[in-house]
């Protein structure tokens, strides 16, 4: 009898909902991710999401650009999943339009940082509570 192997957690970026723009020489990034097959252990899930964010922060620090990056991680649902496409309000009617604000209850984690003369940022975990637990950080160069 073959054993069931749990799929590995995947973090998938929704490119169509992620925004990149330059504002007065500062790169603004707002990225949306779907967490596919998250572990049931909340601490392990939090570690995976923090590690992902930390690797993005390390990458940003290595580039030495002025920037603000925000990452929002949603759990995968039947509707919000890899390949998610918002309904076209011109074809389906305004009130049937799906947008990400309707998925607030599915947010697992948010991170944001700004790199200028130093790094300032925060992590907010919604894994245990929708109120969110925020940790702020400041790093000098």
CA gap 50, 92 in Å, rounded: 38
Enclosing domain of residue 30: 10-83+92-140
Query: What is the SS3 string spanning 99-128?
Result: CHHHHHHHEEEEEEEEECCEEEEEEEECCC
Residues 6+ apart with CB under 8 A from 70: 29, 30, 31, 110, 111, 112
* DSSP at 31: E
**In this structure, which long-range contacts are made by residues 85-94, counting pairs with CB atoms below 8 Å and at least 24 apart in sequence?**
85/16
Tell whether 131 is covered by a domain. yes
Confidence of residue 55 (pLDDT cuts 50, 70, 90): very high
Tell whether 102 is covered by a domain. yes
pTM of the model: 0.86
Tell whether 2 is covered by a domain. no
Tell whether 5 is covered by a domain. no
Tell whether 127 is covered by a domain. yes
Tell whether 3 is covered by a domain. no
Residue-averaged pLDDT of the chain: 87
Q: State pLDDT tens for residues 84-138.
A: 877 665 555 544 444 677 788 999 999 999 999 899 999 999 998 889 999 999 9
């Amino acid at each position: 009898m073959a054993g069931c192997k749990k799929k590995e957690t995947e973090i998938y970026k929704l490119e169509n909902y992620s925004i990149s723009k330059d504002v007065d020489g500062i790169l603004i990034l707002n990225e949306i991710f779907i967490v596919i097959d998250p572990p049931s252990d909340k601490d392990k899930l939090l570690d995976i999401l923090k590690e992902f964010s930390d690797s993005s922060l390390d990458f940003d620090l290595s580039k030495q650009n002025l920037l603000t990056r925000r990452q929002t991680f949603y759990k995968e649902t039947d509707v919000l999943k890899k390949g998610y496409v918002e309904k076209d309000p011109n074809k389906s009617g305004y009130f049937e339009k799906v947008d990400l604000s309707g998925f607030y209850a599915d947010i697992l984690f948010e991170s944001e940082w700004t790199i200028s003369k130093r790094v300032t940022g925060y992590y907010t975990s919604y894994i245990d509570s929708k109120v969110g637990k925020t940790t702020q950080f400041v790093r000098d160069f």
